[in-house]
Chain A
Amino acid sequence: MNDLLEQFLVETRELVQSATEDLLALEGRPGDAEAVNRVFRAFHTLKGSVGLFDYPPWFALLHAAEDGLSAARAGTLAVDAPLIDLSLEALDATARWSDAVEATGRLPDAAAGEAAALAERYRSLLSPGPKSTTEATGAVPDWAARLVASMADAPLGPSTAVRYRPRGDCFFSGDDPLGFVRKVPGLLAVSVEPAMPWPPHGEFDAYACNLDITLLAGTPRPEVEATFRLVSDQVSVVDVPAPSAGSTEPTPSSTLDPVVAAILGEQLLAMAAPGDTETAAGRLEACTRSAANALRSIGHEADAERCLKGADLGADILGQAIEAALAGGTLTGPGSGMEASGADGSPAGVHGGDTARTLRVDATRVDALVGRVGELVVARNALGSLAARAEAGEDLATLARAIREADAVIGRLATSLHRDAVSLRLMPLSEVFRRFARPVREAARGLGKEVAIDFEGQGTEADKGIVENLFEPLLHVVRNAVDHGLEDAGTRLRSGKPAAGRIRIAAGQDGDGIVVSVADDGRGIDPDFIRKRAVERGLRSRDAVLAMDDAAVTDLIFAPGFSTAGSVGALSGRGVGMDAVRAAAGRMGGRVSVESRTGEGTTVALHLPRTVALARVLVVGVGTESYGIAMDAVAEVVRVPRSAIHAVAGGAATVLRGRTLPVLRLADLLDHRDGAGIGMEALLLVVHADGETVALEIDRLDDRLDAVVRAPAGLVGTVPGVGGTTTLGDGTVLLVVDPAALLTDPAWVGQDTSGDGR
């Protein structure tokens, strides 16, 4: 069932996204019938999908939303702000519940209340004024409740229940009880029981009616009552409110298996239905077989045979046979079929913890990959023939040339294969961009600003890991732009700008990487304000900020501690989260930059890699510091007694499994003074570097992680032995040591001669 849930979540998110876009578009163009239709279809499909699982409140909400949008589509409900807002809220809830279901397998506890409230708002949109009267109906009588409970698919809306106890002599007054039942519009369920216990065989009166018929119809009460107008003295009709979600508890039925009874009843209706004459024979045969199968499924072979024989004599006789079986069913004791859909009828075993994310891949890319693999298989065949030629004693020079050719072909294919495989993880940034229309609208609305947002370069592609992590930092930037960058309409008009602010989110290739920028045409960042703030916050001295040029000062907005939350504005404090944005960019292996012109606007750009190569990094401690070491280089980690480390000429060594390894202290290599190097045992990393194997002594083993390791840049680039840097979850930068570089570094080569380093 996990496949199903996985696909459901993917589809749901897509539908929520597309419906959100259409709703936002409808705000501007309420008359767009196509968009209304698309939104309706989205809710309709969402409802259908949610219905596959056991989430009654969710389903009820989507059902109500579908009703509302259906009315909008039909033109009976205005497509205006209340409907759009409500529908956006419904989509919000749907998105949140998808997340909850993915994470926990169930809806949040608050979902039921929220769903009911939202559904009620749809209903009040549809019927303003006093609430419908069905809710005022008192308790539902037992027999009606039993009927509802016996139904496996309980009616979703209000229904009408009828109890019909025909008079004993009704056949003589020309009444046709089952005929009436057949005519009930929207018949949902029928139950036929004996009104009195059946008399002993000898006293049985075939002409006396002894039936207690209860039925449920999905149609309003007046329509149902009309059907029974001739026998109104023998029926009681009650309104049954829509079941509160999830509350229907099947109770054991004492009549003919309700599924079988319903199928038999349906065949009666089907035979009475008008239809083409060419298909009449086929339909009758299908009804016969359906009725006979249903009876056979509960072991009523005799009744089944009667139906099959009756069919040969025509629809009427078959009808009588079915009616007889239906009535006779009252004698056969409890049904057995409904247990199958009993209390635990939940179709979805969604409680599994497997939440592996799926990746949607353009089919052409998969095709390319498959094609490439095919070529590789063909290329491999060449190796077999080469082996044969070698066995045949072909001369070595020719053979070597052939092998080199084969190697070139396979090498080229392997490279392409790698590129194709990496491209599978590429996804367009439109996935992220499309999520912005909504927050921007809300942010602008909350501030009473007008904002037009547009996008550029949505087709730019990047690794799934980048695209999926881009939203949060970009949202910080966008919110800041709306909150602080853009002026209110009055100010804008006074400074000769259009009233509506403009935000452009753009993406493009930038060498090997991508750049994603958020540009606003607002007031820009005032360098003097930043100077003042930086000094206030104690980030820089007054002299320092005065010495810095404006661009360098503007960069200070990314400094940790530059801003405090909640200082200005409801959405974001001034500059709030810009250091978080920088940290996020760092975690993805990128950086962030800002460019601003006073009065003209601000552009914040994230420079990110296009593909991500994750490296497994071991985090080790030396003294109070932590360093990373690429796990590839580490063969093993061992603890040895310190007595097993011996001073040798030019250093220290230990014997591991009969092999002598030089022992180097990482603290010495990194010129640390505080590396302890004490204790009874030494912790050693056995490292392969440049064809050598050495043991590196460390103080602690902290962690292992998958990280994006960037080539060292700036000052760090000059530190010997540093292979790169990576940003940890908390934003701190970890130096990743390159053992090979460290070991060939002249600093320690020199140390080599300094005698016992210990």
Chain B
Amino acid sequence: MSEAGIGGPPHVLLVEDASLVRLYYRGALERAGFVVDEALNGIEGLERVLTATYDLLVVDVNMPKMDGLSFLRALRGREPGVRAIPALMTSTEAGDGDRATARAAGANFYLVKPVPEGVLVAHALALAGRQP
């Protein structure tokens, strides 16, 4: 069940350190009807996730302070509800090993950057359970 409720707009948290990428994702997701929050690293991401309700997380891998993989591992070990938020991981690394590591950490989908706007939006909507 979506924690934020089916009625309202879907809430997404971007956990991403690159400002340009955040700007781009934000634009794309807002146009698709998402309400967008941002966190610059995994630590900020955890703070956000524990204090607000999200339908989806869009998580970068390489970030300072706490990377996306550690963030997901920490998240998936938390209490029910919070730990079940779908996570879309985006990274410039396209190797199989990278995908496998992301899965093991608790990612629900993996897109290799650059992610075209349409692709990002299609996956984000589906993972958040919204009609495209």
> A-side interface residues toward B, CB under 8 Å?
1, 3-4, 7-8, 11, 44, 47-52, 54, 59, 152-153, 156, 185-186, 218-219, 257, 259-260, 262-263, 266-267, 269-270, 273-276, 278-279, 281-283, 285-290, 292-294, 296-299, 304, 308, 336-342, 345-347
Contact = CB atoms under 8 A, between A and B. Distances in A.
B131 A297 contact: yes
B96 interface: yes
Contacts of B28: 347
Residue of B23, B117, B130 with most chain A CB atoms under a 10 A cut-off: B117
Contacts of B36: none
B83 interface: yes
Contacts of A273: 100, 103-104
Contacts of B109: 262-263, 266, 290
B27 to A, nearest CB: 7
Given A7-B19, A340-B132, A279 B77 contact: yes
B121 A341 contact: yes
Given A285-B84, A289-B84, A297 B96 contact: no
B84 A288 contact: yes
26 contacts: A4-B20, A4-B24, A7-B20, A44-B92, A47-B92, A49-B20, A51-B114, A52-B21, A263-B108, A266-B103, A266-B108, A266-B109, A273-B103, A275-B105, A279-B105, A282-B78, A286-B106, A293-B2, A294-B126, A297-B130, A298-B132, A299-B131, A340-B32, A341-B116, A345-B119, A347-B116
Given A52-B114, A341-B119, A290 B127 contact: yes
Contacts of A270: 103, 106-108
Nearest to B87: A286
Contact of B20 (A8, A285, A296, A346): A8
A48 B128 contact: no
B48 interface: no
A153 to B, nearest CB: 5
A337 B78 contact: no
A257 B100 CA distance: 24
B76 A279 contact: yes
A297 B119 contact: no
Max chain A Cβ within 10 angstroms of own Cβ: one of B1, B2, B123: B123
Contact of A296 (B117, B118, B123, B129): B129
A218 B132 contact: no
Nearest to A266: B109
Contact of A267 (B18, B100, B108, B114): B108
A217 B9 CA distance: 35
A721 B107 CA distance: 77
Contacts of A294: 126-127, 129
B75 interface: yes
A49 to B, nearest CB: 6
B15 interface: no
Given A286-B83, A293-B127, A3 B118 contact: no
Contacts of A338: 118, 122
A286 B108 contact: yes
Most buried by A among B21, B100, B118, B121: B118
B94 A337 contact: no
B129 A4 contact: no
B118 A345 contact: yes
A377 to B, nearest CB: 30
Contacts of A260: 126
B83 A285 contact: yes
Contacts of B121: 340-341
B72 to A, nearest CB: 8
A340 B118 contact: yes
Contact of A259 (B100, B123, B131): B123
Q: How large is the interface on B (under 10, 10 to 19, 20 to 34, 35 or more residues)?
A: 35 or more
A290 B130 CA distance: 11
Nearest to B32: A340
A219 B96 CA distance: 8
Given A11-B20, A275-B104, A51 B113 contact: yes
A8 B35 CA distance: 24
Contacts of A263: 108-109, 123, 126-127
B116 A4 contact: no
A76 B2 CA distance: 49
B111 interface: yes
Interface in B61-117: 73, 75-78, 80, 83-87, 92, 94, 96, 99-100, 103-117
Contacts of A346: 116-117
B13 interface: no
A269 B103 contact: yes
Given A260-B126, A297-B126, 11 more contacts: A11-B20, A267-B108, A274-B104, A275-B106, A279-B105, A289-B1, A289-B85, A293-B130, A340-B122, A341-B119, A347-B116
For the complex of A and B, 10 pairs with smallest distance between CB atoms: A51-B114, A341-B118, A293-B129, A282-B76, A282-B83, A347-B117, A285-B84, A279-B76, A273-B103, A152-B119
A262 B127 CA distance: 11
Interface string B1-22: 1100000000000000011110
A190 B115 CA distance: 19
Contacts of B19: 7
Nearest to A288: B84
B125 interface: yes
Contacts of A287: 108
B127 A153 contact: no
B70 to A, nearest CB: 11
A259 B106 contact: no
A51 to B, nearest CB: 2
Contacts of A286: 76, 83-87, 106, 108
Nearest to B117: A347
Contacts of A275: 103-106
A285 B86 CA distance: 9
Nearest to B92: A48
Nearest to A287: B108
Contacts of B105: 275, 279
Contacts of A219: 96
Nearest to B99: A186
Contact of A266 (B21, B110, B116, B132): B110
B122 A259 contact: yes
A341 B86 contact: no
A51 B21 CA distance: 10
A337 B128 CA distance: 13
Interface in B7-56: 18-21, 23-24, 27-28, 32
A277 to B, nearest CB: 10
A297 B24 CA distance: 23
A293 B126 contact: yes
A287 B118 CA distance: 23
A186 B92 contact: no
B24 A281 contact: no
A278 B73 CA distance: 9
Contact of A341 (B20, B85, B122): B122
A7 B116 CA distance: 18
Contacts of A339: 132
Given A266-B108, A275-B105, A341-B116, A281 B126 contact: no
Given A263-B127, A266-B108, A153 B21 contact: no
Contacts of A337: 122, 125-126, 132
